[in-house]
Amino acid sequence: MKRREFLQKGALVVAGAAAVASGVAVIGYADESVPKKWKSLTAHEGQTLQKMARQIFPHDRLDDTYYLKVVEDLDSEASTTPATAKLLREGVAQLDHSMDAKFADLSSDDQIKAIEKVEDTPFFDKVHTTELVSLYDNHGVWKQLGYPGASYQLGGYLHHGFNDLNWLPEPPESASPKPV
């Protein structure tokens, strides 16, 4: 474990212990042990879309609850737009038949191969574009990935965030001329 990881995990443990000691309950985004009741999707379709979302934008730092949010957004749209519901149902069926097994039961490598077979379809585009917004516009994801958020309220990245890396050596003066 690197020093930075040790410090980050240590801070999380201290914060968690302080929250428990103060009586504050820390609640996650969703409980994965409870089957999700979708508005439009079946449980199988939801599970397949969640696993697909993880394969499209895999992040070891993110647990499945963040990918559940992607499926919730897809389900919400499918419940109000019949064309989206049909697109998702047919896409999940296509994934399940692409490797002669249910997509959710495939190995990670086979899931990627199945996704590659549908990457030029409107189904893939729908899941991909929804996930792009749903996942990367989530402040919890920002925190997990180390992104501090927008900097405009602090004067912009030129004066905050642009050169905040403290783990790299300072570049030579010739590489960083002062702004005029």
Spatial neighbors of 26 by CB under 8 A, at least 6 apart, are 16, 19, 20
Q: Does residue 29 contact residue 68 with C-beta atoms inside 8 Å?
A: yes
Q: Does residue 51 contact residue 110 with C-beta atoms inside 8 Å?
A: no
Q: How much is the pLDDT for 24?
A: 42
Between the CA of residue 16 and those of 19, 20, 27, 38, what are the distances in Å? 5, 6, 11, 31
Q: How much is the pLDDT for 177?
A: 76
**pLDDT under 50 in the chain at which residues?**
20-35
**pTM (two decimals):** 0.68
CA 50 to CA 47: how far, in whole Å? 5
Q: How much is the pLDDT for 157?
A: 66
* Tens digit of each residue's pLDDT (9 = 90 or more) over 33-69: 344 688 999 999 999 999 999 999 999 999 999 999 9
Q: Which stretches of the chain are DSSP H helices?
A: 3-21, 43-56, 64-80, 82-98, 108-118, 122-136, 139-145
> Could you tell me the residue ranges of all domains in the chain?
31-145
Q: How much is the pLDDT for 165?
A: 62
CA 146 to CA 177: how far, in whole Å? 28
CA 117 to CA 59: how far, in whole Å? 22
